[in-house]
Amino acid sequence: MATHPTRDNHRRRPRTPAGEAHTATAGIGAPPPAWGWRGPGAGRAAHVFGGVEYQGTTVQLCGMFPFAAGSGAPPVGVPIGRHMLWGEVVCLDPIEWLRYGLVTNPGVFVLGQPGAGKSTIAKRLIMGMVAYGHHAIILGDTKPDYTMQVRHLGGQIIEVGRGMDRINPLDSGPLGHALHRMSGADADRLRLEIRGRRLSLLLALCALVRGTKLTNAEEVVLGRGIDLLTDRLDVDPTVPDVLRVIDDGPDELRRAARVTDTAEYHRRVDDLAFTLNLLCTGSLAGVFDGPTTTPLDLDAPAVSVDISRVAAAGDTLVTAAMLCTWGYGFGMVDAAAVLADLGLAPRRRYLAVMDELWRALRGASGLVEHADALTRLNRQKGMASMMITHSLADLDALPTEEDRAKARGFAERCAITVLAGLPLKELRRVSEITPLTEPEIDLVKSWAAPESWLPGTSHPGRGKYLIKTGERIGIPVELTLVGHERRLYDTDTAVRDTDQTPAPS
């Protein structure tokens, strides 16, 4: 039987004569007991405490311990978590990384399986960047995942749906307010910008409900109709206004359609009129067929456009809601930039979160081009964008190869790629856009599925991410929720709170 080493040492040590204490030289040649010799003045400790740990920067502690290993990421931005190898804090801020020259653009593309924590890292970034003075805009929350957090931050919630908040696709929004404060050439340029945005979004919505793009003739007539209403009205026109003026067929529209006969004009615009009518009376009725009910608040720390009420109405309505939300949200960012350039408002920085990206792109051919035009110049606007989807395979469902190629460009243009748990096949596809080493692939693959069927076992990839920027070695980071985050970031409340007690028979 094994004996306790300390007890054994006590048993074998020669006893000290009464009244004689051990000196510093006592016991030479024999190992001392773990807690020291017994006896008065022998230095025996009743209890030995663990060593004290100190944490500091390498600047402060390099003389004491010069063998520190860094995380490979600059301590710039929002603390995301700790490096899974070194334990150092990893920070992320796409705008600051751009300012320091670490990346070429402030785009973030997030890929991961459902439940791996894609929205969690987005919420951590929102929380931190708002604390640093940025403004967050969630452009189309389909679940909703972000409403509770935005309310906690004192932000604005817009709930789009039938009988609820409504968005006018032709609303000039904050750009219109900026236009009223301008004059001269600057006002003319902004007026043309507003006109182009109105026409682009209305064309996208028409393509969505029709299933194909409008003809060149229809596009010309639609643009001229918007121009007529802009000149005639003191307020922003609506889709019913456009339908009404096209039905009336004034001389300006007939000339635009290159016809002189009334019957011939109506034959040429009949399909366009039916398409606009679908926006007002079809499945989209009550959502986009009137003035905007709740304008965006430029001063809000965060704005969330909640479209969860229309999510169950089918992909057409969801896609239309997301397109209008994107157009309205990016208009808000552009308006802030215009006002700042003219010295009429402080310079603002934004983080735009575009979750469930694939749902907005697969509605009809050509919608990818519209989204691409909205997001391409984020760097000049002082805005970071965060696009979130489950898989690159989501983009394969787009109607044409041209759309699929442009959609892949979203990932290619984002300088920062964040990978949560993904299967091997998906990682091979990601490697074609963002180069991955074999150890990186093995690491992310290991987060993709639970190791056992044991109930209650947490997902191995929950809260684990690989942050990639270009050809650099990826940064594996693990995020741990703290404080209010456990409540604000929880997306499984509805499932967990469900009463699973069997109903009485």
Domain match, 339 and 486 both: yes
Boundary-marking domain end, from 265, 293, 321: 293
**If residue 389 lies in a helix (H) or strand (E), which one and from where to where?**
strand 383-389
Give pLDDT, residue 72: 66
In a domain, 505, yes or no: no
Mean local confidence (pLDDT), 277-283: 85
Q: pLDDT (tens digit, 9 = 90+) per residue, 126-152? A: 999 999 999 999 988 888 889 999 999
Q: 354 is in which domain, residue-wise?
A: 59-158+299-493
Residue 132 shares a structural domain with residue 243: no
* Alpha-carbon gap, residue 163 to 293, rounded angstroms: 11
> What is residue 279's predicted lDDT score, i.e. its pLDDT?
87
Interval 251-260: pLDDT, tens: 999 999 999 8
Residue 350: is its pLDDT beyond 60? yes
Domain end point (choices 273, 293, 313): 293
Q: Is residue 32 part of a domain?
A: no
The pLDDT tens digits of the residues spanning 417-427 come to: 999 989 999 99
First to last CA, the chain: 60
The alpha carbon of 208 is separated from its chain's Cα centroid by a whole number of angstroms, namely 24
Separation between Cα atoms, residue 415 and residue 412, nearest integer Å:
8
Instruction: Tell me, yes or no, whether 266 lies in a domain.
Output: yes
> Is position 26 within any domain?
no
pLDDT at 504: 41
Whether residues 433 and 412 share a domain: the answer is yes
Examine the domain organization and report whether 315 and 271 are in the same domain. no
- pLDDT tens for each residue of 168-210: 999 988 888 888 888 888 889 889 989 988 998 898 888 888 8
Instruction: Of 44-53, 174-183, 353-362, give the range with the top mean pLDDT.
Output: 174-183
Q: Is 273 in a helix, a strand, or coil? A: helix
- Nearest CA among 496, 390, 377, 479 for reference residue 127: 479
Does residue 176 contact residue 193 with C-beta atoms inside 8 Å? no
Q: Are 473 and 438 in contact (CB under 8 A)?
A: no
**Composition of the chain by helix, strand, coil, percent to 5:** 45, 10, 45
Mean pLDDT of 23-35: 62
**Average pLDDT score over the chain:** 81
What's the rounded mean pLDDT across residues 300-324? 82
Check which CATH number belongs to the domain holding 323 and give it. Answer: 3.40.50.300
Q: Are residues 336 and 432 in the same domain?
A: yes
Does pLDDT of 302 surpass 90?
yes
Residue of 156, 201, 196, 141 whose CA lies nearest to 327: 201
**Are 274 and 307 found together in one domain?**
no
Query: In terms of domains, do 149 and 209 share one?
Result: no
Shared domain for 422 and 440, answered yes or no, is yes
Closest CA to 288 of 317, 331, 326: 317
Of the residues 293, 309, 332, which one is the last residue of a structural domain? 293
How many structural domains are present in the chain?
A: 2
Same domain, 151 and 176: no
| Across 68-82, 229-243, 435-449, least confident range | 68-82
Residue 50 covered by a domain? no
For residue 333, tell me if it sits in a domain: yes
Label residue 444 by pLDDT band (50, 70, 90): very high
Whether residues 328 and 425 share a domain: the answer is yes
| pLDDT the model gives residue 456 | 59
- Are 281 and 304 members of one domain? no
pLDDT value of position 311: 66
Residue 17 belongs to some domain of the structure: no
**339 & 471 share domain:** yes
Give the model's confidence band at 69: pLDDT under 50 very low, under 70 low, under 90 confident, else very high.
low
- Is the residue at 24 inside a domain? no
H/E stretch holding 138: strand 135-141
What confidence tier does 502 reach under pLDDT thresholds 50, 70, 90?
A: very low
- Rounded to an integer, what distance in angstroms lies between the CA atom of residue 407 and that of residue 471? 22
Q: In what order do the strands lie in the sheet with 475-478?
A: 89-92, 78-83, 475-478, 464-469, 416-419, 107-111, 383-389, 350-354, 135-141, 302-306, 156-159
pTM score? 0.76
